[in-house]
Structure formats: C-alpha cells, structure tokens
Amino acid sequence: MAAAMASRGVRTIGVDIQAAPVEKIKKKLAPVWEPGLSEMILGCDGLLQATMDVNEAVHETDLTFVVVPTPSLPSGAFSLEYVCSVVRQIGAAIGKKDGYHLVVLSSTVLPGATEHVVLPLLEESSGKCRGMGFGLCYSPEFIALGSVLRDFLNPDFLLIGECDAASGKKLASFYANEMQINARIARMTPVNAELTKIALNTFVTTKITYANMLAEICERLPGGDVDVVTGALGLDARIGAKYLKGGLGYGGPCFPRDNKALAHFLDSMGVPAGLPRTVDQLNSQQPQRVVDLIWSLGVPKDGRVAVLGLAYKPNTNVVEGSQSVAIASLLAEAGSSVVVHDPLAIEQARQVLGNSVSYAASVTECLANAQLILVANDLPEYRGALHQTSNQIPRPIVLDAWRFLRPLHSFGPSCYQALGLGNADGRNKARIDRFVRSLSNKDTQTGESQAHAASSAD
C-alpha cells in the first residue's frame, strides 16, 4: 500500500515494529514478494520512507492507515490485540500534534470494532474528541496476493465506513485526488462497512464452494464437464463468471478464516450460522476428496505422487491454507512417496511439510517415476514438462486440478484425469444406471438410492 501510494506521488512513510521491513524499504528493496513491487519501490523517487517510530510518522503526515495483523482466535473472531497496541501509540502521537489527523483502519475486523473499540481508545489515548483533533474511518482493501498492486490501484469500488461525514469526505478525496483512483465509492457507517467486507469475502467463498460441488458431481456424470456448466451459469447477469471455476478449494491467509469469523459473529448475534459454517466445512473436506479420487484411480497408497504447485495460488510464495500442501500432507501420512515442486514457495512449504515429502529442484526431477502427477497450479512452465511424460513408461496419470492442460493434452483418456470432468468408468456408469432406473421404476430402488430414501425418512 505504501509503495502504491508513493507511486502516485504521495509522500508516504511506512511504519513497522519489525526492523527488517523498515531497513529493506530504506535500501529501496521489497520487504515481501509481490509481482511489480521491487520495480515500484525503485521508482518511488524518494517519496517512500520507513521508520519504526509511530510518533514521527504521525507528526509528518496527515493520514494513517492501520494494516496490522488481526489473527484468528480459537472462536473464529479476529483478535484486536495488534490493532489496539498501535492505535494507542497513534492516539498518543495525535495528542501531541497540533493539526487534524485522519486514522483509517484497514485490517479485517468484525462489525463494531471501529466504533466500539478503536474510537474510544483513540479518544482516551489522544485526550481529543472525534471530529475535533482527529477523524476515523474503516476502509479495507479488496486485494489478492499476487495482484496486490493492480487490485489496490484499480479496485471495483472503494469502501468507506465513516465515524463522521468529514472523515469520510476527506478519505474519499484522498482516494480520488491524491491516489487518482477512479472507482465508485460506497460510503456508510463503520458497522455496515465492516459487515460489507466480511460479507463480500464469504459470498465469494460460497460461490467457489458451489462451483466445487458442481465439479464433484460432473466427475461422477459420464460426459459431465464443469466448465460447460459454469460457463453457461456465468452468462447470467445475476451470477457472473468470476470465481466460478470448479477445482481445488480456496486457501490463503484471508478466505479460510472469514467464514469461521462470520459464523462466530452470527452465533453471538443469535442469527443462524449454518451457511458460513457449511462452506467452511465443505472447503476443509476438499483435500481428502482429492486424495480419495487419487486412490480411486488405482494409484497404490504407497505409490509415488508428484505435486506441482504448493502456493495457495500461482504467483505467490504463500502456502497458508494451501489445498495442495494439505493434499501432500494427507498422502504422505497415508504412506505415499510424495515429491513436490513450486517455483516460489518451496521454502515456505518445507516449514509446513518438513521431512514428510521430498522437494524437487526442477519440474523434471519432480515428475521422474511418478505414478500420478497432481497439477495443482496452472503455471505455463509445467505444460512442456508434462507433455514429455507421455514418453514415460509406464505412463503416469496426470490429475489436472484446473483443466488447463485439456486443450493441448495428448495423454490419452487413461492417463489424463481432471477435477470436474466426468468419465464413464464402471463405478460412475453403475451409479447413473441405478439412478435412471430409480426414476422410471420405484421398485428398482437399490443400494445408494434406498439408503438415501431411508436417511430422508429419518
């Protein structure tokens, strides 16, 4: 955020309690990996500075964004420990400052945090009143790792929860004029903005989970194709095509915790929380579903499985909540010999998987002698290497999570399997035959349909 602001000509000071990121910024180096960030920092032309001193930063600027972590508590709620700690320091600095200062909370919080926790803390620590010495807004960013800079500078909309109209007006003007962001702005009370942020993330994860349910049923339908189904669904303006590609579950540092937090919040307000809780549970079951599928393809439990792609999505080194890391872990636990590869996230994965898997230095090394190759991230560099496996004897099964090899694949039907694509193997054919018979003649109900009827009657 700081680099993006400086890139738009805003003099920006980044503050952190850790020395390492501060030193990196001072040396014009990126403290985290993100596409385009190093180049952006180099181009900031002295407008981007860094310090560990909150007081200095508050005195030299007009506006402070608070983007500290809000880790999940066992209940699912977001901890405000770091927010409170830094807000106390900001308040103390505002108390010593002559002019007006606008504070903007950007961290993900649950409804009520800005007005009922941050505001009283700022008033107490500054000795000033909201609207007099300072203003306060809640304004989260809708950014995704791997495209943070683009998302931050080109949002679909800006969300501002304002404690008073003057604060909201000032922040809206900052985004539009200083940051030159041309986007619609939704201004509202903090509590509505806090709810909007978590509602947006949980809505998107519900959509992903719906697409994954369609992928799973398509796998069991001979001829089923989730891309055909979601492609048509996405044409409906009420639904839209984004985040509707069935495949692996969602992961990363944000999405998995948002449904847990919403469920906790709904519980505490006495509202049924079945929807977010179910989405969370279904997503947690996805790695085991993929492992079961691998075994159903005839790969022995002690077989050799290659996993391509460990980051929770391409173009990032983050493995938090990564589905492919969870799959690798389940396979290794079951006795499989697992070898993994990722161009960016090997070291991060090693922290989680330890010695339970082997780490390949190249894609070719990863694929050697594999009985099954799980392609978890659709990276172009995997394509060529995977095509060469068609010369391998015996040929491995390629399990393509996102079907990105499908247009080019020359693997043959027994060697290419994809999430979301049906095949007419014996089990699926028997299932659909049984189902069709049950439609035409109730008396022929057998097996699963009888069991289903019995459980419905319960």
Ligand X SMILES: NC(=O)c1ccc[n+]([C@@H]2O[C@H](COP(=O)([O-])OP(=O)(O)OC[C@H]3O[C@@H](n4cnc5c(N)ncnc54)[C@H](O)[C@@H]3O)[C@@H](O)[C@H]2O)c1
Nearer to ligand X, 17 or 213 (CB): 17
* Distance, CA of 167 to CA of 161 (rounded, Å): 9
Residue 354 found at the interface with ligand X (CB under 6 A): no
**Residues, the chain:** 458
Residues 104-143 that bind ligand X (CB under 6 A): 107-108, 140-141, 143
* Distance, CA of 145 to CA of 440 (rounded, Å): 51
Residue 86 found at the interface with ligand X (CB under 6 A): yes
Does residue 254 carry a catalytic annotation? yes
Residue 67 found at the interface with ligand X (CB under 6 A): yes
User: In the sheet that 397-400 helps form, which strands lie side by side, from edge to edge?
Assistant: 358-359, 337-341, 304-308, 372-375, 397-400, 416-418
Nearer to ligand X, 90 or 418 (CB): 90
**What minimum distance in Å lies between the beta carbon of 70 and ligand X?**
4
Q: Which of 33, 82, 100, 359 binds ligand X (CB under 6 A)?
A: 82
* Distance, CA of 16 to CA of 53 (rounded, Å): 8
Nearer to ligand X, 152 or 295 (CB): 152
What is the pattern of x (binds ligand X, CB under 6 A) and - over residues 245-284? --------xx------------------------------
- Helix 190-220 and helix 226-233: axis angle, to 10°? 140
Number of residues near ligand X (by CB under 6 A): 20
Tokens coding 2 = 């700081």
Q: What is the 8-class DSSP label of residue 155? A: -
Residue 152 found at the interface with ligand X (CB under 6 A): no
Alpha-helical (H) ranges within 78-147 are 81-95, 113, 119-126
Segment near ligand X (CB under 6 A), from 15-23, 212-220, 408-416, 447-455?
Answer: 15-23
- Which one of the listed residues 163, 254, 366, 415 is annotated catalytic? 254
Nearer to ligand X, 90 or 360 (CB): 90
Q: Is 304 helix (H, G, I), strand (E, B) or coil?
A: strand
Name the nearest CA neighbour of 157 among 171, 173, 142, 137.
142
Nearer to ligand X, 107 or 209 (CB): 107
Q: Beta strand 337-341 with 358-359: parallel, antiparallel or unpaired?
A: parallel
Residue 199 found at the interface with ligand X (CB under 6 A): no
What is the pattern of x (binds ligand X, CB under 6 A) and - over residues 356-385? ------------------------------
Give the burial string for 408-425 (b: 16+ CB within 10 Å, else e).
Answer: ebebeeebbbbbbbbbee
Residue 285 found at the interface with ligand X (CB under 6 A): no
- Cβ-contact 238, 299 below 8 angstroms: no
Nearer to ligand X, 145 or 331 (CB): 145
Q: Which of 16, 115, 123, 400 binds ligand X (CB under 6 A)?
A: 16
Residue 69 found at the interface with ligand X (CB under 6 A): yes
* Distance, CA of 257 to CA of 70 (rounded, Å): 11
Q: For residue 382, what are the β-bridge partners?
A: none
The catalytic residue positions are 254
Q: Kindly list the residues in this chain that would bind ligand X in the complex (CB under 6 A).
A: 15-18, 21, 67-70, 82, 85-86, 107-108, 140-141, 143, 145, 253-254
